[in-house]
Structure 1
Amino acid sequence: MLSTLTTAPTISPADLREAMDGDVPPTVIDVRSPVEYSSVHIRGSYNVPLPLLAEHGEEFASRLPGQVVLICQSGNRARQANERLEAVGIHPDSVTVLDGGIAAFESAGGEVVRGRGPWAMDRQVRMAAGSLVLAGVTATKVVSPKFVYLAGAIGAGLTYSAASNSCAMAAALSRMPWNRSASEPELGTVLDSLPDRS
């Protein structure tokens, strides 16, 4: 399992926008799931889901051209991808992580492509956590005072999630049917879609 504590060099959304308008734009690799990518992504980015990149890091490291920017929803998965690429020998100066993820890029006025798909994972987590807390508080008043522990458990989980920079709820939600409707890309297809190194 990849660590979530790596400190990767970052690029701000404004700097990425400027770099993408330059003569030699960086290669933007989006490591979110295909469903997340299809719902919103940076124009011109390539979808390489983190599990695929983690499993085939050597192949990707040998094919990634020039300057590479890794992105995800908030930055955690992109940092994990950066750690994997560094572990297989990619030069640390050639890869950066988008600070704040795609949401920060869009907020900074970056161009994104929107499709029809499920909510972004952070929005799904907020909805699930909020609904569970609300249900727990309501059940405490209507059914049994012991339901207060449900709200406490969600609060503890969110606290741990922030402290560890991981999210068990997001991992569970990513396995739900509505988040798995887009087909997982195959290694050969993804590698062939990347720009030529020459």
Structure 2
Amino acid sequence: MTTTSATPGATRISAHDLSDQLAAQGVTVIDVREPMEYASGHISGSLNIPLSRITQADLPRGPLVLVCQSGNRSAKALNQLLRQGHPHPMADLLGGVPAWQQAGFDVRKLKGAPLPLMRQVQIAAGSLVLLGVILSQTVAPGWIWLSGFVGAGLTFAGISGFCGMARLLAAMPWNKVAMGSQRT
């Protein structure tokens, strides 16, 4: 593996190096995103174990590469496993699933996967802003505050990293994907 060290005992691996390792069947890929994210696009053959369950999961033996959307959650998972004394070599995919795709490698989508959560937030927020503007012009001027409320919520989400609308949408029935270690 061509890697760079981020933390003692932890390494980062490029998409091309991961592809080579997968072709040689020398590594297991663990996707630490939530099941809904995994369903909407993942590295073929990867195992889905969300970050919230990574330290309790019965992980496969042998070298592991952890992946997520940006590299943040996989780095956290890697550090948690290192603190636990995980005995097998581990790496983190540099740049996450988008880096895998940018390198020209395919992702696999599960049948019936919901739209990515960020797109759902954009659709919901945009619809609410538009609705607030339309209602303020046709029903009562006070409806403009709906648009202001959504704008304030998006600003708060950008500053804090917490998006209440995303949490609400993630809990909706159409976003429920079976939990468990999925490998496809």
Q: TM-score range by the shorter chain?
A: 0.7 to 0.9
**Aligned pair 1:135/2:99, yes or no?**
no
Distance 1:102 1:21, change over 3 A: same
Aligned 1:75-154 pairs, distance under 5 A: 75=71, 77-82=73-78, 84-90=80-86, 94-96=90-92, 98-99=94-95, 101-116=96-111, 117-154=113-150
| Residue 38 of structure 1: how far off its partner (Å) | 2.6
Using the size of structure 2 for normalisation, the TM-score is: 0.72
Q: Which residue of 1 aligns with 2:152?
A: 156
Task: Report how far residue 97 of structure 1 moved.
Answer: 5.1
The verdict on how the C-alpha distance between 1:136 and 1:78 changes in structure 2, with shifts beyond 3 A counting, is farther
Post-superposition CA distance 1:109-148 (Å, at most 9, x none)? 2221123321111111111111111111112212222222
Q: CA deviation at 1:80?
A: 4.8
Structure 1 portions without partners, runs of 5+? 1-6, 194-198
- The residue number in structure 1 matching 2:39 is 38
Q: Which secondary structure state, in structure 1, belongs to the residue aligned with residue 167 of structure 2? A: helix
1:72-122 Cα distance to aligned partner (Å, 9 max, x none):
3x455445534543553459x9342542x4344324422211233211111
> What count of residue pairs does the alignment treat as equivalent?
172
Counterpart in 2 of 1:4? Answer: none
- Pairwise CA distance, 1:16: 1.6
Q: Which residue of 1 aligns with 2:163?
A: 167
Q: Percent identity?
A: 37
Distance change in 2, residues 1:51/1:58 (3 Å):
closer
Higher helix proportion: 1
TM-score (structure 1 length as normaliser): 0.68
Q: d(CA) in 2 for partners of 1:34 and 1:121? A: 12
1:10 and 1:98 in contact (8 A); partners too: no
Cα 1:49/1:119, change in 2 over 3 Å? same
Secondary structure of 1:114 counterpart: coil
More relative contact order in 1 or in 2 (CA 8 Å, sep 6+)? 1
User: Is the Cα–Cα contact under 8 Å of residues 39 and 110 in structure 2 kept in the other structure?
Assistant: yes
Q: Rate the CA distance shift 1:47–1:135 in 2: closer, same or farther, 3 A.
A: same
For the aligned residue pairs, the C-alpha RMSD in angstroms reads 3.2
CA distance in 1, matches of 2:104, 2:61: 26
* Alpha-carbon distance, 1:176 to partner: 0.4
